[in-house]
Chain A
Amino acid sequence: MLRRAVIFCWVSLGLSAVGCSQEPEPTQSEPRLECAPVSPAPAGARLLTRVEYDNSVADLLGLELGLAEKLFPAENTVLGFSNNLEAHQASPLSVEKYLEAAETITQALDAEKLAELLPCAAPEVDATCANTLIETLGKRAFRRPLQPAEAAILRDLFTTSSAKYGGAEAARLVIQGLLQAPQFLYRPESMGAPTVESGAVQLNSYEIASRLSYFLWNSMPDAELFAAADLDQLRTAEQIEAQARRLLKSPRARRVSLDFHRQWLGLGRMSGLVREGTQGVQTADKQEIDPSKLPAAWQASIEYFLTDLIFEQAGSVEDLFTSRSLYVDAQLAALYGVEAEYQSQAPTADGFVKVELSAKERAGLLTQPGLLALLAHPDQSAPIQRGVFVREQMLCQPIESPPPSVDQRPPDPDPNLTTRERFAEHTAIPGCASCHDKIDGVGFGLENYDQLGRFRVEEYGIPIDASGRVVEAREERLNGKFSGAVALSKKLADSAQVEDCMARQWYRYATGRVETEDDACSLQQIRAQFAASGGNIQELLVAVTLSDAFRFRVPGAQDGVE
């Protein structure tokens, strides 16, 4: 493979014309917003994602088939998130797959399983039985009681089919009809009228039940949420909060947290990762490390870390950036030199144990080896990627793309220079420095970790320089010098800007939208509650459910108010 060694960043004429300078976001120092008593947000009918479809089918019919994951095209993504209202939509292919999935699902409903769904004991399903099925299963599928016209459509389907194919098969076809109906595939939120005072539409209890369950469980409401909705008891903040806290206690909330973090942190790119440098590293039982197994182990390690921190420890943002915990399997234990600790504990079913690393070497998410390996090149660390990652994902400050004439290829490793020295050449170039001051000042601070996420103090015998400097953060106290990832993480752990950024990321995931001006007041409510909880991450999720954006929507044209 040919790769040039130097002239990493060269700038052609006209940089200023190509570059860009605006950051389209509010500044941290802006005064507190004056908000109306109710600040509704836009809403739209969200199409179920693959995860949501599979979970909903499992909860609705007791069938865990994972068909959407196998059959449906991948969602389009915005800012890493796959549940975006605007981006995720139906296509001719997905419409075929909805049909195929519905047929496959009812094929899996054999006589016994069908009997479990049916409200009648009769071997032959008659019209009365079918009507009850339509009302009960239909209500769960549509996540609200059926309107008379909707039920009539399904009764017609049953009647026609029953005459030809018998009651049981007709019931299966009714289920196919439910699974392909827009009321199942989408989550329309169009009921209700705006109140006179606020001009906002308060979502009804069924709509709130769905919002809660899809946000916190990635699935349809359970019996308790339906019961609360039946009594119209998801109206007040107290009622919603009680349900949100209940849902957060379930293992399903952990599943959602992992889904969110995979999208926020880009962990989906972990699959197939190739990182060099494991030759000669052996596990305790003298096995050479298999590098093809590392990506899955890194992913699992980060996921254990997050789940433990957020749910078992009820951790905060501060904990997220200071915890020294690391989950390792046999290979990771060998790679990170914690075999003794690994050996001394009983592992989980898939072979992981939790160990504590040195406070001098590790602090929180940013020093998780899997994340550092993800943010690396195959043969060396990637200070630029790491810097951009912190700026964009942790600080919510997007970095402009380099001008097209910039050669973005990483310089080749050189035994006479550290990675930093090789990458630093471009910051000396005036045209590059304006952006790279922001990126490199952070990225070089993570140079104590190689492409495998291992801690190091030297490269080729040359001491590592992990000094860094944060510039142009919106929060003034973040700016300034630091030395090493532990110090950087300490800055982030105490940062209001990081708290704000996390709130935004969860908000995007919860609402399926990228925030706009309409969301500013809701975000302010969420941030205030999040901060008041000491930055507790579970409390952040509760705060999202209590925000105006979660409970009130802007009226649509059909509501007669524009």
Chain B
Amino acid sequence: MSSSGNATGKRAGRTQRALSRRALLKGAGGALVGLPLLHSLGASAGPSSPIKRLVLMYNPNGTVWDAFWPTGGETDFVFGEMLTPLQPFRDRVSVLKGIDLAVTAVGPGGPHQRGCGGLFTGRELQEGTFTDGCGSLAGWANGPSIDQVYAEHLGISTALPSLELGIRATAAEVRGRMFYKSAGNPVPPVNDPQQVWSRMFWGSDGDPDARLVQMDKRRSVLDSVQAQFASLNPQLSPADRQRLDAHQVMVREMELRLELAAAASGGSEPELACPKPPNPGSIAFDDAGSMPLVAQLQMQLLALAFSCDLTRVGSVTFSSAINDIGYPWLGSTDSGHTLSHAGPSDEAAQRELINRGKWQAEQLAYLMALLDNIPEEDGSVLDNTIILWGSEVSLGNVHSHTDMPWVLAGGAAGALKMGRFLEFDGVPHNRLLVSVLNALGVGVDRFGHPDFAVGSLSGLEA
């Protein structure tokens, strides 16, 4: 596993300080995760129906094909250089070639915008006023992303609907938003691990009786808030009503989740014995040198959230399509976006891009290792998790949307063919999204834009 220890000069001191904080997140036994899986807050899941989890991972500006695609056949493949960090989990990784973001041919926007919007929604962009050069304008994606669809499918069964983790994901616009609760309603990532920690363990202090009182007060307040929404509703224009209705639904769902958590903690037998790790403390999370540390902390928190069943849905967003940042610990200090525009003959640039991509794969491997350390039934949480990793373009220097660099990871509870290098024939990625949803038990026959939402990805399902 890579460490963040290579930073030099002034940054090193800061990283070092931050690293010592990381120790706080670790329990006495070392890693923070590796806790036994505790009782689910919701309906008990029998051994016949394992809890399935979904993680979507994004990194920007495409890849370098020669270093990304495996060589060899479906099962005897050899990872390209970029994906070698996944070697320890070879049996639980599938690399998918020949899948296109066909939906990017539809609707407004520039190539990065369309790619970001369509990546996990399978949808075109709405009309809008976000710019992407060329005076091209676009709005948000025109539908929900699969993580939010799965969260919706799960209903109110965990304290958090989903956990959106950012690692320097600072673009607060369409080129930095891959996850959508509904059409036009993006879900933002949180870049500060301390904020994630606060969200996960919000209100977990105090004795059970005090928490029941707190819940009673919240119930009264939130009921009044619901009533105010209802009271205002008839006076709104249709556009306003749509936005405020979405807000009201979020308030209602939050209330139900709070009820759930309060009930779990207030019973006669304290069921939720999920130990709260120490506050990770203040981290310079937008500092270039902190990025490796932040990535590790965020994924530790995600693993912990799964371990405690605080949620079953997560996403990890590295940077954004604007990606104007360096990876100084790799000696790659310039804007990644600028770098991605370098041509294939520029060997130095390709080397930097490969190093960055390899680092991304290391992050995935790190997350997989964390999840694999959490025992669950006969295996690990990883066995019951699907991780889907993608980028908004295939090659940065042509902004292509064909042969997208998709990686599937985790055991997918046995529903998908893993340990494969699967080559498809230019199929729309909507089919991949359908297959992932079906593997999670959502049961759909189409997803996303109707022109491309035709069935699942035959050959992927186990």
A84 in contact with B129 (CB, 8 Å)? yes
Chain A residues with Cβ below 8 Å from B130 are: 78, 87
CB distance from B286 to the nearest CB of A (A): 7
In the complex, A390 has a CB within 8 A of chain B? no
CB distance from A350 to the nearest CB of B (A): 23
**Most chain A beta-carbon neighbours within 10 Å: one of B202, B220, B352:** B220
A161 in contact with B217 (CB, 8 Å)? yes
CB distance from B289 to the nearest CB of A (A): 11
CB distance from B283 to the nearest CB of A (A): 14
- Tell which of B216, B221, B286 touches A177, judged by Cβ atoms closer than 8 Å: B221
A401 in contact with B132 (CB, 8 Å)? yes
B341 in contact with A92 (CB, 8 Å)? no
Chain B residues with Cβ below 8 Å from A281 are: none
B187 in contact with A92 (CB, 8 Å)? yes
Q: Which residues of chain A (11-50) have a CB below 8 Å from chain B? A: 12, 19-20, 22-24, 44-45, 47
- Tell which of B10, B164, B251, B334 touches A409, judged by Cβ atoms closer than 8 Å: B334
Residue of B nearest to A181 (CB): B228
CA distance A157 to B224 in the complex (A): 7
In the complex, B161 has a CB within 8 A of chain A? yes
B287 in contact with A180 (CB, 8 Å)? no
Q: A272-B286, A272-B287, A404-B396 are in contact. Are A10 and B221 (CB under 8 A)?
A: no
CB distance from A7 to the nearest CB of B (A): 9
- Tell which of B164, B224, B251, B346 touches A95, judged by Cβ atoms closer than 8 Å: B251
Q: Which residues of chain A (241-296) have a CB below 8 Å from chain B? A: 271-272, 292
CA distance A404 to B172 in the complex (A): 22
Q: A93-B190, A558-B235 are in contact. Are A86 and B250 (CB under 8 A)?
A: no
B333 in contact with A181 (CB, 8 Å)? no
A100 in contact with B188 (CB, 8 Å)? no
In the complex, A239 has a CB within 8 A of chain B? no
In the complex, B227 has a CB within 8 A of chain A? yes
CA distance A187 to B247 in the complex (A): 14
CB distance from B182 to the nearest CB of A (A): 11
B229 in contact with A182 (CB, 8 Å)? yes
Residue of A nearest to B396 (CB): A404
In the complex, B40 has a CB within 8 A of chain A? no
Return the CB mask of A176-206 against B: 1 if under 8 Å, else 0.
1100111101101011000000000000000
B188 in contact with A45 (CB, 8 Å)? no
CA distance A556 to B240 in the complex (A): 10
CB distance from A474 to the nearest CB of B (A): 14
A92 in contact with B254 (CB, 8 Å)? yes
- Tell which of A4, A180, A404 touches B346, judged by Cβ atoms closer than 8 Å: A4
Chain B interface: which of A69-77, A335-343, A363-371, A414-422? A69-77
CA distance A536 to B205 in the complex (A): 56
- Tell which of B173, B236, B244 touches A77, judged by Cβ atoms closer than 8 Å: B173
A153 in contact with B231 (CB, 8 Å)? yes
B221 in contact with A157 (CB, 8 Å)? yes
B110 in contact with A92 (CB, 8 Å)? no
- Tell which of A10, A74, A150, A404 touches B231, judged by Cβ atoms closer than 8 Å: A150
Q: A74-B188, A90-B246, A182-B229 are in contact. Are A558 and B286 (CB under 8 A)?
A: no
In the complex, B12 has a CB within 8 A of chain A? no
In the complex, A1 has a CB within 8 A of chain B? yes
A190 in contact with B254 (CB, 8 Å)? no
In the complex, A408 has a CB within 8 A of chain B? yes
CA distance A11 to B216 in the complex (A): 65
CB distance from B335 to the nearest CB of A (A): 8
Return the CB mask of B142-163 against A: 1 if under 8 Å, else 0.
0000000000000000000110
B399 in contact with A400 (CB, 8 Å)? no
**Most chain B beta-carbon neighbours within 10 Å: one of A89, A157, A188:** A89
Chain A residues with Cβ below 8 Å from B397 are: 404-405
A150 in contact with B228 (CB, 8 Å)? yes
B131 in contact with A398 (CB, 8 Å)? yes
Residue of B nearest to A14 (CB): B398
Chain B residues with Cβ below 8 Å from A405 are: 341, 343, 397-398
CA distance A164 to B244 in the complex (A): 31
**Most chain B beta-carbon neighbours within 10 Å: one of A10, A177, A182, A401:** A182
B228 in contact with A177 (CB, 8 Å)? yes
B187 in contact with A93 (CB, 8 Å)? yes
CA distance A181 to B343 in the complex (A): 53
B135 in contact with A22 (CB, 8 Å)? yes
CA distance A10 to B202 in the complex (A): 53
CB distance from B139 to the nearest CB of A (A): 7
Residue of B nearest to A25 (CB): B135
In the complex, B411 has a CB within 8 A of chain A? no
Q: A188-B232, A409-B334 are in contact. Are A73 and B190 (CB under 8 A)?
A: yes
- Tell which of B177, B237, B341 touches A404, judged by Cβ atoms closer than 8 Å: B341
CA distance A453 to B164 in the complex (A): 39
CB distance from B111 to the nearest CB of A (A): 7
A93 in contact with B188 (CB, 8 Å)? yes
CB distance from B287 to the nearest CB of A (A): 7
CA distance A401 to B111 in the complex (A): 11
- Tell which of B131, B139, B225, B339 touches A86, judged by Cβ atoms closer than 8 Å: B139
14 A-B residue pairs with Cβ-Cβ distance under 8 Å, sorted by A, are A22-B135, A45-B240, A99-B254, A147-B231, A165-B217, A173-B217, A177-B225, A181-B225, A182-B229, A182-B232, A182-B247, A401-B132, A407-B341, A408-B337
Q: Which residues of B contact A (CB under 8 A)?
A: 10, 110-111, 128-137, 139, 161-162, 164, 170, 172-173, 177, 181, 185-188, 190, 195, 199, 202, 216-218, 220-225, 227-229, 231-232, 234-240, 243-244, 246-248, 250-251, 253-254, 286-287, 331-335, 337-339, 341-343, 346, 348-349, 351-352, 396-399
Q: Which residues of A contact B (CB under 8 A)?
A: 1-4, 10, 12, 19-20, 22-24, 44-45, 47, 71, 73-79, 82, 84, 86-87, 89-93, 95-96, 99-100, 102, 147, 149-150, 153-154, 156-157, 160-161, 164-165, 169, 173, 176-177, 180-183, 185-186, 188, 190-191, 271-272, 292, 398-402, 404-409, 513-514, 556-558
